[in-house]
Amino acid sequence: MAITDIKEYAHLTQHDVEALGFELDALRRDVAESLGAKDATYIRRTIAFQRVLDGLARLMIHGSRSSTGVVLGTTALGVAKSVENMEIGHNVSHGQWDWMNDPEIHSSTWEWDQVGPSSQWKYAHNFRHHKYTNVLGMDDDVGFGVMRVTPDQERRPIHLLQPIQNLLLAASFEWGIALHDLLPPSAEDKASRRLRPPVRDLLGKIARQMGKDYVLFPVLSGRRWRRTLKANLVANLLRNVWSYVVIFCGHVPDGAEKFTLAELEDESRARQMLGTANFRAGAVMAFMSGNLCYQIEHHLFPDIPSNRYAEISTAVRGLCEKYDLPYTTGSLARQYLLTLRTIHKLALPNRFLRATSDDAPETASEVKFRGRAAVGADPVTGRLRGLRTALAAR
């Protein structure tokens, strides 16, 4: 189907589709060519800030004589862990800072501060998730294999528990990511009685991570080992919940389209504009989220340094307005409430759902379009299908 076959999208010609691609390419090229000392200083200062904050937080936890001091230290440790996870670990592992040729800040050497090995995460996230964003059956991040987040997913009885699963996943998000990143065993793996290399790597990382947080630091605290142990547990919990909120608000709210394998004939960054959602944030919240409040920009340019996403977002929003494309954003509270609504709503059996895949607000797939094709697409559906057609033409 050609894009001009969609009445609501007839204004977007093949020339427009190509022009959009060229403008995105030019935007990326301009930013990449402007990277320099200021950007390198940013990431080095960010790493230094995180490490100083981590050290001060641990000293405060150990040396404080009041419960208030312990709470402040624990909170600061949670912030330090969040910064390491979101603004440093995630972005360094995407290769955003490889252009510096600094072996200490390189995607091939950085190991982040959580139980999952960076090497396994880079394949599951950088490749599968970013290439097949929100494609059912290809992107394991769609519900993380345990939750139903679109009516196009087959419902199973276990989904009735997903409101509880959602809470458990939020609290143990680093563990969910670690297990979710494991590759399925090959035939050779199944025939061997030895542990698969990915499993060995994961177990080794878990041992190191648990040893650091729950053995080494408590032992170094001497008589106050219980305080340190509790602080590390709470700090990891804070980091896990915050990471979960940021990630889910980038791909589950209304407007973040879900795709099926039928739409995977061709790839284009245009699809990333449909499968992602932003949330509004000031400078501090953007920093704390690893600048993933600009999830659209991140999926368009995952290897561009995150400190540039704010300026890129102005240009991307301008392109969306120019070509009449959706740019999904909202407050963090709104995006998360929409996420919770979808998770709780889709826990129910289909017979309790009034909306179908054709008109449910949390879904927008080609199933939705085909459901209306016989009677004519509505404006919203037509626009969504139009952009999918545009990406197929790229």
Would you place residue 150 in the very low, low, confident or very high pLDDT band (cuts 50, 70, 90)?
A: confident
- Quick: pLDDT tens for 119-138: 888 888 888 888 888 888 78
**Of 94, 83, 98, 100, nearest in space to 38 by CA:** 100
φ and ψ at 153, to 5 degrees?
-80, 140
Would you place residue 388 in the very low, low, confident or very high pLDDT band (cuts 50, 70, 90)?
A: very low
Three-state SS at 74 = helix
Task: Count CB-CB contacts under 10 A for residue 291.
Answer: 26
- The C-alpha atoms of residue 50 and residue 87 are separated, in whole angstroms, by 10
**Of 62, 126, 135, 133, nearest in space to 89 by CA:** 126
Task: Give the pLDDT of residue 184.
Answer: 58
Task: Give the pLDDT of residue 5.
Answer: 37
- Lowest mean pLDDT: which of 24-33, 130-139, 214-223, 255-264? 255-264
Burial state string for 97-136 with b = 16 or more CB within 10 A and e = fewer than 16: bebbeeeebbbeebebbbbbbbebbbebbbebbbebbbbb
Task: Give the pLDDT of residue 132.
Answer: 83
- The C-alpha atoms of residue 82 and residue 206 are separated, in whole angstroms, by 18
Q: Is the pLDDT of residue 308 over 60?
A: yes
- Quick: pLDDT tens for 59-83: 999 999 999 999 999 999 999 999 9
User: What's the mean pLDDT in 147-152?
Assistant: 87
What value, to the nearest 5°, has the Cα angle with vertex 265 and ends 23 and 136? 100
Would you place residue 267 in the very low, low, confident or very high pLDDT band (cuts 50, 70, 90)?
A: low
Give, in order, the Cα–Cα distances in Å from 199 to each of 202, 247, 267, 284: 5, 25, 32, 37
Between residues 191 and 60, which one has the greater pLDDT?
Answer: 60
Q: Is the pLDDT of residue 310 over 50?
A: yes
- In this structure, the dihedral spanned by the alpha carbons of residues 160, 164, 170 and 172, taken in order and rounded to 10 degrees, is -110
- The C-alpha atoms of residue 109 and residue 73 are separated, in whole angstroms, by 29
Mean residue pLDDT of the chain comes to 84
pTM of structure: 0.85
Roughly how many angstroms between the first and final C-alpha of the chain, as a whole number? Answer: 14
**Of 33, 28, 39, nearest in space to 307 by CA:** 39
DSSP-assigned letter for residue 378: -
Amino acid identity at 346: L
- Identify whether the C-beta of residue 390 lies closer than 8 Å to the C-beta of residue 17: yes
